[in-house]
């Protein structure tokens, strides 16, 4: 399957535009539901402000938050999909264009000198996660991530016999975060794999649709998180998180890596699919 590189680049610019401006329906619905059931009046007013913010961003075509995030992509590349050009270079080009066009805040800096590239690119950025899948389609998900919630994330290499400490690790991470990651949160938990794989699992868990039923382990953690009373924007209330999603992978018999990726209410992501027909 061949695609025009220029059309591809503009599709990715538009994908980023959608991700930055329009919150996915499942996230929006969960926020609407939270506003309906929250009884704390301060938290309720904050949820109303968030919903108004979402509406204004969509109506005016502007990003929903001033922190437009660091550019992260998840790519599922069909083994029979052959675009005929350098996909990675094209995605990078799209990020540069999107930064100027949407516009996006230039957030990418050298980690040591703190020098800003000015266009949201640099070594390792955009962060593109490749997965080879069967078939002749290419699916790209853009998931820009703000620093406020990313900075509150955590990873710990547990001793395997400490498995029952995992829920407490989530609670401690949420308590330490307080209002800083702009709750209500979505909490991605990665258990297993290796040091880095656990973090990737936690991030992937944030892409799970919020209508995906939680298992009893996830439900129990969510209930405990909401019992903390941190509430919307940390101002108190019964809804600190909207969902907890856990993803697992087999790990070394002597290891138990656990990563927690905290996501603010602005759980931005959007996907596009290329190809698929003969």
Q: What is the binding site for ligand SF4 (CB under 6 A)?
A: 65, 67, 146, 148-149, 181-182, 264-266
Q: How far is the CB of 66 from ligand SF4 (least distance, A)?
A: 7
What is the signed CA dihedral for 233, 238, 242, 247, rounded to 10 degrees? 110
Q: How far is the CB of 109 from ligand SF4 (least distance, A)?
A: 16
Is the CA virtual torsion 127, 264, 189, 142 positive or negative? negative
Q: How far is the CB of 21 from ligand SF4 (least distance, A)?
A: 14
**Centroid of chain to Cα 80:** 28
> 138 or 264, CB closer to ligand SF4?
264
> 73 or 265, CB closer to ligand SF4?
265
Q: How many CB atoms within 10 Å of residue 178?
A: 14
> 179 or 236, CB closer to ligand SF4?
179
> 7 or 151, CB closer to ligand SF4?
151
> 181 or 275, CB closer to ligand SF4?
181
How do 256-263 and 154-158 pair as beta strands? antiparallel
Please give the residue whose beta carbon sits closest to ligand SF4 in the complex.
Answer: 146
In this structure, what are the phi and psi dihedrals at residue 154, rounded to the nearest 5 degrees?
A: -150, 155
How deeply is 129 buried, as exposed, middle or buried, from its count of CB atoms within 10 A (0-12, 13-18, 19+)? middle
Q: How far is the CB of 194 from ligand SF4 (least distance, A)?
A: 28
Q: How far is the CB of 41 from ligand SF4 (least distance, A)?
A: 21
Rounded to whole angstroms, the Cα distance separating 48 from 253 reads 47
């Amino acid at each position: 399957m061949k695609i025009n590189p220029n059309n591809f680049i503009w599709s990715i610019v538009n994908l980023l535009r959608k991700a930055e401006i329009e919150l996915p329906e499942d996230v929006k619905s969960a926020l609407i539901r939270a506003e309906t059931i929250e009884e704390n009046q301060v938290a309720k007013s904050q949820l109303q402000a968030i919903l108004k913010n979402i509406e204004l961003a969509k109506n005016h075509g502007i990003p929903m938050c001033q922190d437009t995030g660091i550019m992260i992509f998840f790519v599922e590349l069909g083994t029979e999909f052959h675009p005929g050009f350098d996909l990675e270079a094209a995605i990078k080009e799209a990020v540069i264009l999107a930064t100027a066009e949407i516009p996006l805040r230039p957030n990418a800096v050298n980690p040591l000198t703190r020098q800003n590239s000015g266009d949201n690119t640099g070594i390792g950025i955009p962060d593109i996660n490749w997965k080879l899948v069967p078939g002749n389609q290419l699916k790209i998900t853009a998931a820009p991530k703000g620093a406020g919630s990313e900075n509150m994330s955590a990873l710990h290499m547990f001793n395997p016999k400490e498995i029952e400490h995992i829920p407490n690790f989530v609670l401690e991470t949420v308590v330490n975060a307080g209002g800083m990651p702009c709750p209500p949160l979505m909490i991605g938990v990665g258990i297993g794999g290796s040091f880095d794989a656990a973090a990737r699992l936690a991030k992937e868990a944030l892409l799970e649709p919020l209508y995906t039923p939680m298992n009893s382990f996830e439900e129990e953690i969510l209930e405990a998180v909401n019992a903390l009373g941190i509430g919307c924007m940390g101002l108190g209330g019964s809804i600190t998180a909207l969902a907890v999603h856990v993803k697992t992978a087999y790990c070394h018999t002597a290891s138990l890596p656990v990563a927690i990726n905290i996501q603010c209410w602005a759980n931005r992501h959007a996907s596009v699919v290329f190809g698929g027909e003969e």
